[in-house]
Amino acid sequence: MGTRPTTPVSAPPLERMRAARALLAPVLGRAPIVPHQAHGPGHTGGGRGAAAQHEAQLFLALEVHQPIGSFKLRGIWHAVARMTPEERGRGLSTVSAGNTAKALAYSAARFGVPARSLMPEGAPKTKVEAVAAMGATPVLVPTVEVFRFLQEKLWLDEPYAFVHPWIDPEVLVGHGTLGLEIVEALPDIDSVYIPVGGGGLMGGVGSALRALRPDVRLIAVEPEGCPALHTARAAGKPVRVDCKTICDGVAVPYITDEMFPLLMELVDDVVLVSEERVRAAVRKLALDDHVVAEGSGALAFAAALATPLAVRGKTLCPITGGCIDAGLLAEILAG
């Protein structure tokens, strides 16, 4: 098989993101955007007053309250809704550690078509079971095979209508609707922290924010155990990295050639977060804000907590997903 061509992803146009709201309206609500409760029992270090001061002006976009428990439904539903009936009738397919697969399963069920998702064998049991419960087929394969499928563009050889989780333009348009909501709720926002795996959320939300608030600081956040964008940014090109992290939703070992130029155009900085800080953020969200988040869902919040208010200013963190295995959550809460 010869080399598959690559085309850089462009920023989705603002008018398309605005129009996407009509397609999302039947299934998606606005993400609640609420202030972080900095005075609860989950704070660590210092007195309650010190914690409240450090964590002031910190807002959460609770994408965990979307129908499948993550932001992924924005992009996936939009991409599926934009297909022709004939395309959808071929059956839907994607690649996912869990939340994209759940979004595809949900969308397929609503449109009455079959769906399957290629998933790594180590995907959280909670996510695999949720995909199957919604009537889709999880196909578990070694992680190396998941990324080979993507890098070699093997979906071009299958009969399904494939939805790429990061570089599909319709996915980015759908994700961008969150950016519109952020500006409407917090027009004077200074910084937005966004977790990055493949880069689809940053590509969509970041494009909306740049169009509406070009001066906002966009901070990409990755776990220390999977620094694909951080490494690529330093090297000036995509570089493959090893991934070992509880943040399975962003455990992507490389930034695609298609996505890298857009991310470099959008991002002001890339911040790495330790596993310890991720766990602390999951715990704080549960105890202070009464929000259940998975590791990748708490990643942006963890980064913002580690940044002084004087540096970050008024800050928004999307809590991007809440599908976490019960055992891991219990372990984190136990401290």
The string of DSSP codes covering 29-65 is: PPPPEEE--TTSTT--SS-HHHHHHHTTTEEEEEGGG
| DSSP track, 262-292 | HHHHH-SEEEEE-HHHHHHHHHHHHHHS---
**Geometric angle at alpha carbon 162, from 246 and 263, rounded to 5°:** 55
- Could you give the strand order of the β-sheet that contains 269-273, starting from the edge strand earlier in sequence? 33-35, 58-62, 315-319, 191-195, 217-223, 269-273
- Res 261 pLDDT > 70: yes
CA distance 214 to 238: 25
pLDDT tens digits for range 25-61: 989 988 899 999 976 554 544 445 666 677 889 999 9
Q: Where are the domains of the chain?
A: 33-70+169-334, 71-162
The pTM score is: 0.93
pLDDT tens digits for range 301-330: 999 999 999 999 999 999 999 999 999 999
Is residue 22 within 8 Å of 82, Cβ to Cβ? no
Cα-Cα-Cα-Cα dihedral sign, residues 22, 28, 29, 32: negative
pLDDT for 7 equals: 87
CA distance 182 to 211: 13
Q: Report strand pairing: 92-95 vs 161-162.
A: parallel
pLDDT tens digits for range 129-181: 999 999 999 999 999 999 899 888 999 989 999 999 999 999 999 999 999 99
Reported as type and span, the H/E element at residue 213 is none
- Res 1 pLDDT > 50: no
**Average pLDDT estimate for 182-197:** 97
CA distance 235 to 145: 26
Classify domain 33-70+169-334 by CATH number: 3.40.50.1100
- Res 289 pLDDT > 80: yes
Between residues 70 and 30, the one the model is more confident about: 70
Which pLDDT band, with edges at 50, 70 and 90, does 236 fall under?
Answer: very high
Which pLDDT band, with edges at 50, 70 and 90, does 122 fall under?
Answer: confident
Question: Which amino acid type is present at position 126?
Answer: T
**b/e per residue 40-60 (b: at least 16 CB within 10 A):** bebbeeeeeeebbebbebbbb
Between residues 122 and 192, the one the model is more confident about: 192
**Average pLDDT estimate for 61-69:** 94
Closest CA to 246 of 214, 223, 269, 213: 223
pLDDT for 50 equals: 60
Share of the chain above pLDDT 90, in %: 84
Quickly name the fold that domain 71-162 has: Rossmann fold (3.40.50)
Q: Judge whether 33-70+169-334 and 71-162 match in fold.
A: yes
pLDDT for 30 equals: 85
Share of the chain above pLDDT 70, in %: 94
